[in-house]
Amino acid sequence: MSFKLDHNLSNYHWEARCCMGCAGCKYGDWIFAPANHEFAWICPEWQWGQFDNWGATGRTRLIDALLVGDLDYSDPLIIEAAFRCFGCGACDVGCKRNLDLEILMMNQSLKVALVDHGYGPMPVHKMISSRIADTGNYYGCNQADRKKWVTDDIKVADKADVLFFVGCMSSFKDQAVAQATARIMNKAGVDFMLLDEEVCCGNLLYSTGQLKKFKGAARLNLKKIKDTGAKTVVCTCADCYRNIKVEYPKVLEMATADLGFEVLHIAELTDKLAKDGKIKAKKEMNMKVTYHDACSLGRLSEPWIPWEGERDAEDWSMLKPRRQFRRGTNGCYEPPRDLIRGISGIELVEMGRHHHNAYHAGEGGGVKEAFPETAQFAANMRVKEAGVTGASAIVTPCVHSKETLSEALPRVNNNIQKVYHLAELVDEAYE
């Protein structure tokens, strides 16, 4: 029977039935790591809950029971398990080491199914989505203030090939990141424009299963971007980047390659500018730092490729036509590291969990809003892990993980003194 990679939960009954309980979605790549070592875990939800219900393995059992009618969508067990998931994708890359099951699409489709049946999202998610609809931004701020981050020293073009999609957090809350990003482009001679009125990318809508509303946000933003004629969209928020590059094409059933413009994170653009000699690291910064691979720039950032076909029961259930899998290993991992290593005096040390095995920092999936104890657990764990490296600072390419990790610093109280967004560090060191 034909099926496609969309958000229809029944398309993932195969995943629910074929999970073999191997725990590849529970622990990282290191099969030699002591089981239950606090930094061996890769699923923050499961590590928080310490019971299979809170991880992908348990969820496959719950979904199988749902799809054969042994469980009802109203069951609190399944609702809470679904909405405590960060959508970080660590389970997905873990599972694809062996089986290529579409575990993240399954998790996400469960949220969509719960919303469609009237059992989600959580009340706080509904409140925020109304706020986005009413105001155009996550925080409910006055849209007229969206460009207040643009200070006199920053040059914004009326028309350019590059469009800077700033995002709600950098526009209203952490404006230093927007300013640093703009200054990097100014210093390198990259002219950029802004949307007349940018609206929220819809990150919370997608990650809490509000598919219809997210499709509306995707269509609106894509129209706004296309109307500018931009050839390149630059994001400094890793979540805006993933949404425009991956989730918009995914929900609108098209390929990233067909967007009609390229989507770059500031890490990718700056790395290219540095390698082309357009900016150079001038300032010496004597410190030891560790880099946090934000999921949205790392394992979740591979281009979306639609697929529709069937499993051939006569041929070992092979997929026909054959498809190219997104396994998370081709995310953006080296450009930020190269930029950091390029700064004289900085020593970059890796945490135990890095690249596609990175541990989540507690900011996604609407979990921080609905289940703050689970989000704080994940952020604390990541700061503890960063502290073990001996670093005094964490560098992240994501405004949201900068926030959650910064909030965790006083709770953990170890040697980590500061969390930088990558753009802030680069702006400080490069001319």
| Least distance from ligand SF4 to the Cβ atom of residue 431, Å | 39
Choose one: 91-99, 240-248, 272-280, 396-404; the region binding ligand SF4 (CB under 6 A).
Answer: 91-99
- 391 near ligand SF4, rule: CB under 6 A: no
Cα 84 from Cα 368, distance rounded (Å): 9
**Alpha carbon separation from 91 to 43, 265, 297, 301 (Å, rounded):** 6, 24, 16, 15
Contacts of 212 (CB under 8 A, 6+ apart): none
- 60 near ligand SF4, rule: CB under 6 A: yes
DSSP notation for 179-246: HHHHHHHHHHT--EE--TT-----HHHHHTT-HHHHHHHHHHHHHHHHHHT-SEEEESSHHHHHIIII
3-state secondary structure of 312: strand
- 168 near ligand SF4, rule: CB under 6 A: no
- 25 near ligand SF4, rule: CB under 6 A: yes
Cα 178 from Cα 172, distance rounded (Å): 10
**Residue 144: CB atoms within 10 Å:** 8
- 61 near ligand SF4, rule: CB under 6 A: no
- 297 near ligand SF4, rule: CB under 6 A: no
- 20 near ligand SF4, rule: CB under 6 A: yes
Which residue, 98 or 344, is less far from ligand SF4 as judged by CB?
98
- 113 near ligand SF4, rule: CB under 6 A: no
Choose one: 29-37, 52-60, 203-211, 215-223; the region binding ligand SF4 (CB under 6 A).
Answer: 52-60
- 167 near ligand SF4, rule: CB under 6 A: no
Q: Indicate which single residue of 13, 22, 65, 384 sits in contact with ligand SF4 (rule: CB under 6 A).
A: 22
Q: Indicate which single residue of 7, 9, 41, 55 sits in contact with ligand SF4 (rule: CB under 6 A).
A: 55
Q: Indicate which single residue of 16, 40, 79, 101 sits in contact with ligand SF4 (rule: CB under 6 A).
A: 101
- 361 near ligand SF4, rule: CB under 6 A: no
Q: Are strands 2-4 and 192-193 parallel, antiparallel or unpaired?
A: unpaired
| Least distance from ligand SF4 to the Cβ atom of residue 378, Å | 8
Which residue, 104 or 222, is less far from ligand SF4 as judged by CB?
104
Four-CA torsion 362, 364, 369, 371, nearest 10 degrees: -50
- 274 near ligand SF4, rule: CB under 6 A: no
Peptide bond into 121 cis (omega under 30): yes
CA 328 to chain centre: 12
Residue with tokens 């959508």: 87
- 19 near ligand SF4, rule: CB under 6 A: yes
- 107 near ligand SF4, rule: CB under 6 A: yes
DSSP state of 41: B
- 328 near ligand SF4, rule: CB under 6 A: no
> Contact positions toward ligand SF4, by CB under 6 A?
19-25, 43-46, 55-57, 60, 85-91, 94-95, 99, 101, 103-104, 107, 360
